[in-house]
Structure 1
Amino acid sequence: MGKKRILILATTASMIEQFNIHNIKILQSLGAEVHVGTNFKNPGTITKDISKKLISKLNSMNVTYHQIDFMRGIGTHRANKKALQQVCNVIKENNITGIHAHSPLGGIIARRAGHKMNVKVIYTAHGLQFFKGGPLRDWFIFFPIEWFYAHWTDALITINQDDYSISNLLPVKRRYYIPGVGIDLQRISDIPETRRKELRENVRKKLNVKDSDFFIISVGELSKRKNHATVIKAIHKLNDPHIKYAIAGIGNEKNNLCNLIREYHLENRVKLLGYISNLDGLYYAADLNMFISKREGLGLGGLDGVAHGLYIIGNKRTGMKDYISSPENGLLVNSPIDIDEVANVIKKVKEKRLKCSSIEDIKGFDHSNVDKMMQQIYLKEFFGENV
């Protein structure tokens, strides 16, 4: 059996940095030569500086990287045609034997290229565009597209239970469920209690959050999908001077969020923190994690917060319900855009001082479990082993 050369493909470098370093290491441990194709120049939810560091990291890992000029969203016909040709060139010039694709557009272009070049494709859906309880419009638009490309999908990986159930409607060859992309529970659990208290005090002091304040955070891209605006509107509605709010992330909604903060005169209570690489301090400093994305595969920022013992409010119509399964670690809203509902649930958590009292439900999301499952998938799909 010849050497396996696997291309990990994603539209943005952030998907490589945040979700695929472990996958690269797993493939290398199996003897594969790993290539990465993504857009390093427009890297998504990480900064360009982090993207440059990612390139250095890939070099140090002996991973060959390729700039693919993907656009965000659905792209344009011209841009997508160019990206498809770039991917086909990478496959041809490097004798690629398999592709592991991420993100909707990356998944489509990967499957077009795989079909054209006769290369096996695994596609990980980080949240299908259509989902139970989701807008009918998304089902009418995106389901037929995914159904068509499912015929060119050797294996579909879903990261939440709802998507795995829906995947039965798609004519893919094989389907798998894994519990997210993995979190480092061991590292988090090893942080001493004294260090946690120190981080909490330091970050709250830095952000001018008093002991008597109720500090809410959100972690995620500044985008309409992440829905930070609804949280700001709910805080305005509550009109409680002891509620402080901070958002960690970058994105194209920054100006709109800044305007909303100014409109509601919340400059002293709501802050945009930009990109933060180490979130430990922010999680320990906070009293509540607001993660009410309109659509979310699993919500790594939400799961990571729970792992740090931070109480969470999430969206019932997303994969978050896989780990927010009881009021011991969080609550789920029925409508993430209902300002009254969001305001009421914030008030409830604040008044009752609800705390995350159990992380038992998230042990299966640890890297030790997820990596083992991914290794089995790779062995079967790329190495032809019956496992």
Structure 2
Amino acid sequence: MIKIAHILHSVGGVDVSLRLITENINQDKFENIIIHGHKDTQCEFLDRKNKSIRSYKTSIYREISFFKDVNSIIKTYKILKNEKPNLIHAHSAKGGIIGRIMGFLLNINVLYTPQAFSFLSTENRLKRKIYILLEKVFTNKFSYLLASSNSERSRGIENKIFKKEKTLLFNNSIRDILEIEPLSIPKTWPDEYICTVGRPSYQKNIELMIDVLNEINKYKSVHLVVMGVGFHSDKLDVVKSKILKYNLSSKVTLIEWTQRTDIFNIIKQSKLYISTARYEGLPYSIIESLALSTPCIVTNSDGNKDLIKDGYNGYVIKNENIVDFKDKILHLLNNEQEREVFSKNSRKEFLEKYNIEKNIKNLENIYTEFSIK
């Protein structure tokens, strides 16, 4: 039995990623333990047989805090000394720092999955250099980059955080979505709409989406449903101000939080899925759109461009071009035949590349190869 210790700040796509791993990996060959923050997820982690996984909470937070971070390092060290894992899988920026420190102290290999490097979260050049420097400082001989996309792998190499031979790839993957459950929330938007999942933040750039929607509605009445605006949404007021400025209140539905089954329902019934993100790891909402045969129009950002092939299963917009976004959305909304082609190609891409029931074997092989016996 190989014991894997997962270390992370368990929110958003990072939380989804780990749950998909633990719920699909062969529990007869791999034992998982989880170390995460006091105030991130409150839901227990389950294995493939729906049994609870042993978890520990410590002071892992998104923000940098010297005392909390030192405390989390000390507590994590004590947990791992007692648990004696064969391998550490560190998820998220904060989990990556703590995990790599543990690997160095305990002589254990560490697989680090950023789910989008932290240095991509700022336009400030000095801050970006500091974040890259921190990534380099905590990378050691026991550290490997287990990237969630080819773009993420390339970032790690190009910024000289990891040497090429110290990088691996395991694409974010999901289970096939075979049934669409009824909505558990009231439907307050029209039957014809476009949609997105993303908290109003620098990363998701929902402000750009509102700019695009404003241009679209000069030519055609289109409704936008934005899901997931309730947590860590520091740009929510900016987005709401733009909606008022453009007189789009009747054209936008903001959903703070809802179940994943509701998200699947909304994406499936949508004409198009839109992403204006500045960067991603490999976004689950777009993988879900592929599985649900929903064409996508996305920015040419890390993660997005890995999933969408321009002119094949959607369109990729370069340089955050508002006019190009508007033109491509209007074109697809008015071209049912092309939407159907993109829908079929989206589904094909999912089945070939992003089905976790097939891909989990690749991760199991990686875990086996890098475990300390």
State the TM-score bracket (shorter-chain normalisation). Answer: 0.7 to 0.9
CA distance in 2 between counterparts of 1:341 and 1:327 reads: 14
1:153/1:172 contact within 8 Å kept: no
Instruction: Provide the residue aligned with 2:74 in structure 1.
Output: 85
| TM score, norm. by length of structure 2 | 0.83
CA distance in 1 between counterparts of 2:20 and 2:109 reads: 21
Q: How does 1:215-254 map to 2 (within 5 A)?
A: 215-240=193-218, 242-249=221-228, 250-251=230-231, 252-253=233-234, 254=236
Equivalent residue letter for 2:211: K
Q: How does 1:116-127 map to 2 (within 5 A)?
A: 116-127=105-116
CA distance in 2 between counterparts of 1:130 and 1:56 reads: 32
Consecutive unaligned residues of structure 2, counting only runs of 5 or more, are none
Q: 317, 325, 328: which is aligned to 2:309?
A: 325
Equivalent residue letter for 2:10: T
Equivalent residue letter for 2:332: V
Instruction: Provide the residue aligned with 1:339 in structure 2.
Output: 322
Deviations 1:196-232 (A, max 9, x none): 9xx6xx899923314xx4x110112332211111111
Equivalent residue letter for 1:361: E
Q: 273, 285, 292: which is aligned to 2:276?
A: 292
**CA positional deviation for 1:58:** 10
Deviations 1:221-261 (A, max 9, x none): 33221111111122123334621011110322334333332
Equivalent residue letter for 2:58: I
Secondary structure (helix, strand or coil) at the match of 2:250 reads coil
Q: 214, 231, 241: which is aligned to 1:259?
A: 241
| TM score, norm. by length of structure 1 | 0.81
Equivalent residue letter for 2:109: K
Two-structure CA RMSD over aligned residues (Å): 3.1
- CA, structure 1 residues 20+144, in 2 after alignment: closer, same or farther (shift >3 Å)? same
Equivalent residue letter for 1:242: S
**CA positional deviation for 1:308:** 0.7
Instruction: Provide the residue aligned with 2:187 in structure 1.
Output: 206
Deviations 1:34-66 (A, max 9, x none): 2111125234xxxxxxx33x3588996241111
**CA positional deviation for 1:98:** 2.4
Q: How does 1:32-181 map to 2 (within 5 A)?
A: 32-43=30-41, 51-52=42-43, 54=44, 61-72=51-62, 74-129=63-118, 140-168=129-157, 169=160, 170-171=162-163, 174-178=166-170, 180-181=171-172
Q: 3, 6, 11: which is aligned to 2:4?
A: 6
**CA positional deviation for 1:163:** 2.9
2:88/2:99 contact within 8 Å kept: yes
- CA, structure 1 residues 369+383, in 2 after alignment: closer, same or farther (shift >3 Å)? farther
Q: How does 1:183-194 map to 2 (within 5 A)?
A: 183-185=174-176, 188=177, 190-191=178-179
Equivalent residue letter for 1:271: T
Identity score, percent: 17
Equivalent residue letter for 2:174: I
- CA, structure 1 residues 314+16, in 2 after alignment: closer, same or farther (shift >3 Å)? closer
Consecutive unaligned residues of structure 1, counting only runs of 5 or more, are 44-50
1:150/1:172 contact within 8 Å kept: no
CA distance in 1 between counterparts of 2:165 and 2:143 reads: 5
- CA, structure 1 residues 287+231, in 2 after alignment: closer, same or farther (shift >3 Å)? same
Instruction: Provide the residue aligned with 2:258 in structure 1.
Output: 276
**CA positional deviation for 1:152:** 4.4
**CA positional deviation for 1:367:** 0.8
Equivalent residue letter for 1:264: Y
Equivalent residue letter for 2:89: H
Secondary structure (helix, strand or coil) at the match of 1:75 reads coil
2:87/2:372 contact within 8 Å kept: no
Q: Does 1:381 align with 2:363?
A: no
In the comparison of the two structures, how many residue pairs are matched? Answer: 356
